[in-house]
Each structure stands twice: as C-alpha cells, then as structure tokens.
C-alpha cells in the first residue's frame, strides 16, 4: 500500500477521533442553558467534560499538523479557500477554552452567565461550520490549475453544505445529551435522556438526507455500507437510551459518528479536495502529497507515539469514569461584583 494512502487513512482516523470525542464536548456546551436549571447543575454539566475537553482538542491539532506535513498542497488550498470559516472556528474554540477557565474566577451571577454564553456560542459555531466545511470538500470547490481556490465565501453556503452543517450540529447535540445522561444522576440525568431521544430522531432524519445526498453525488459501495451501518448504530443507540442504558446509547452515537466520517473519507478517496472547475484540477493523494522520505519519517514517528497518546487518553477517561451529581458540588459563598 502506498504511504499516501496510509496517511490519508490516518488523517481520517484523526478526524474520527476528533468528532467522536469533541462532539460530545460541543453537545454538552450547547445544552448548558437547556438542561441545567441552576448554577449547581451547570457546574455538574461542565465538570462532566472538565478533565477531558482539552485533551479531545489535541485530535484536531494533530489532524491539522498531519495534513500540513503529509499533504501540503491540500493544507494550503484548504486553509486559503476556507480562511473565514476556519478563522471563525478557531476564534470560537479560543473563546470556549477561555470560558471554561474563567467562569469560576468570579462568584456573581452576571459574570458566570456571560462566560456560559461564551461556552454555548463557542460550541455552536464549530459544530455547524465543521459540517459545512467537510460538505464543501466532498462537493468540490472552485480550484484552478495552480491548485488555488478561486471562489468566495458565499460559494461555501450552498444547500448541500448547510445540510452538512445541520447534520454535525444535530449529531453533536444528541451525542452530548447522551453523554450527560451517562455521566450524571438524578433529575438532570432524566432530562438529558428524554431530550436525547427527541434530538436523536431529528438528527436521524437530517443525517439520512445528508448521507443519501452524498452517496448519490460521490459515493461508492464502500461508503454506502458505512452510511447504512452509521444509521443503524444511531437508531440502536436511541433505543438503548429509551431503555435507560446510557452506556450502550453513547456507544451507539459514538459508532454512528465514526462510521459516518469514515464513509465520507471513503467517498472522497482518492481525491482530497475535488475541483468543481474541472476534474483535471482535483487535488488527490498523489499530486497533493509530500515526498516519500517525509512520509516515511512521519510513519516511524506515528508508530512510536500513537500508542502512547492513546494509552494516556484512555487512562484519563478511566480515572474520571464515575457519575457526577449535585452532591459532589461544594456550596460556595456568593460575592458581590467589585466596583
């Protein structure tokens, strides 16, 4: 197997890891004002992802770095053409990270409500725009013979891309609601479980439309199999949630997202960024890749470091596996704002 194909597959795995793990982080953030009825419950929700959210973002950093090193032409065209949406995602992630750290620095309601709003917005924007970005990559964008993007921002806001954005948004909301039900107990667990089923049914409809559209547009036999299995996994996960089996429900949405992302990469291969201008201008795993020596060195490093990173992250999830309830949140005194 060519190293270019290996690295295309590895980048797909990195994006699968990012969407399956950061996806429930985003869902928890967006549902903060929906499921939490008071400050204690908001702290419960934030504490469910507190030990893991920053580690989950590492998958994005590695995916971006791997794309830059393995497929520099893809990276250059992607980041120049999608500059504005990617900038918005970056700013949202920065604001979201700051909000997690700073909301606890003040003890009066107005301070925390502002940072809570930052968490919601910082979770919503990436959830929507990642779907828009990936849908445009699959659909194809204007690229000329020099491998440069020739379209504008509004070229990216087409119906197919917007459906893609709604798909990631709804799946992450469902994934997050099930995660909250899995990691909490008491009234918040019940509310999260009920909401997860409603969100999941809506997500299923939107996802089927998007995946069917993708299959008809650029799919193949392999992507069709993955898309069908993804739909089955989502429905199985929702059924498990109905039976109050949140663990199996979370596995269902986790596998659904993983299979759907894998199917998208299978539908894309061997292209990495198709051109809507002319098929001859498509960026592929061959014409967008680094040298064989570069890919060889990267492969050696990946073989050594990947098991270490996976082991550490698995250990983190194991340590923080227990449910969190309002009884675990210490009461604190409220301080009046200064000035």
**Phi, psi at 85, each rounded to 5°:** -60, -35
- In this predicted structure, the answer to whether residue 335 has a pLDDT above a threshold of 60 is no
Give every CB contact of residue 177 below 8 A, 6+ residues apart in sequence.
Answer: 27, 31, 35, 192, 193, 195, 196, 199
Question: pLDDT digit string (tens) for 100-144?
Answer: 988 888 778 888 899 999 999 999 999 999 999 999 999 999 998
Percent of the chain scored above 90 by pLDDT? 68
> How much is the pTM?
0.92
Q: Give 207-245 pLDDT, tens digit per residue.
A: 999 999 999 999 899 999 999 999 999 999 999 999 999
Supply the pLDDT for residue 336: 40
Task: Over range 4-24, report the average pLDDT.
Answer: 94
The partner residues of 275 in beta bridges, in order of sequence, read 141
Omega prior to 104 cis, within 30 of 0: no
Nearest CA to 249 among 177, 154, 334, 198? 177
Q: Where are the domains of the chain?
A: 3-325
Q: Which of 61-70, 87-96, 174-183, 322-331 has the lowest mean pLDDT?
A: 322-331
Q: For residue range 145-182, what is the model confidence (pLDDT) as tens digits?
A: 888 888 887 888 899 999 999 999 999 999 999 999 99
* Contact indicator for 133, 82 with CB cutoff of 8 Å: yes
Residue 81 has pLDDT above 90, yes or no: no
């Amino acid at each position: 197997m060519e190293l270019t194909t290996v690295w295309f597959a590895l980048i797909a795995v990195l994006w699968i890891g990012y969407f399956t793990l950061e996806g429930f982080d985003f869902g928890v953030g967006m549902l903060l004002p929906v499921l939490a009825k008071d400050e204690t419950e908001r702290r419960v929700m934030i504490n469910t992802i507190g030990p893991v959210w920053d580690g989950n973002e590492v998958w994005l950093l590695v995916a971006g770095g791997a794309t830059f090193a393995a497929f520099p032409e893809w990276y250059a065209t992607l980041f120049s053409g999608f500059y504005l949406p990617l900038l918005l995602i970056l700013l949202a992630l920065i604001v979201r990270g700051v909000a997690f750290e700073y909301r606890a620095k003040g003890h009066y309601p107005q301070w925390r409500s502002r940072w809570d709003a930052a968490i919601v917005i910082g979770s919503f924007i990436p959830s929507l725009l990642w779907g828009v970005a990936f849908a445009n990559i699959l659909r194809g964008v204007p690229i000329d013979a020099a491998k440069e993007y020739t379209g504008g921002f509004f070229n990216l806001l087409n119906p197919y891309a917007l459906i893609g954005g709604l798909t990631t948004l709804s799946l992450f909301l469902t994934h997050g609601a099930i995660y909250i039900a899995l990691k909490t107990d008491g009234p918040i667990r019940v509310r999260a479980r009920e909401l997860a089923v409603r969100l999941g049914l809506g997500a299923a409809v939107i996802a089927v439309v998007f995946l069917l559209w993708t299959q008809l547009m650029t799919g193949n036999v392999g992507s069709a199999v993955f898309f069908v299995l993804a739909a089955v996994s989502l429905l199985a996960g929702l059924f498990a949630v109905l039976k109050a089996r949140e663990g199996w429900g979370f596995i269902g949405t986790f596998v659904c997202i993983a299979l759907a992302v894998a199917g998208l990469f299978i539908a894309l291969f061997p292209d990495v960024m198709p051109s809507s201008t002319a098929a001859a201008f498509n960026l592929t795993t061959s014409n967008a890749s680094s040298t064989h020596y570069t890919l060889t060195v990267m492969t050696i490093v990946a073989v050594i470091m990947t098991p270490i990173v996976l082991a550490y992250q698995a250990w983190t999830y194991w340590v923080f596996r227990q449910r969190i309830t309002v009884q675990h949140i210490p009461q604190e005194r409220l301080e009046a704002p200064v000035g």
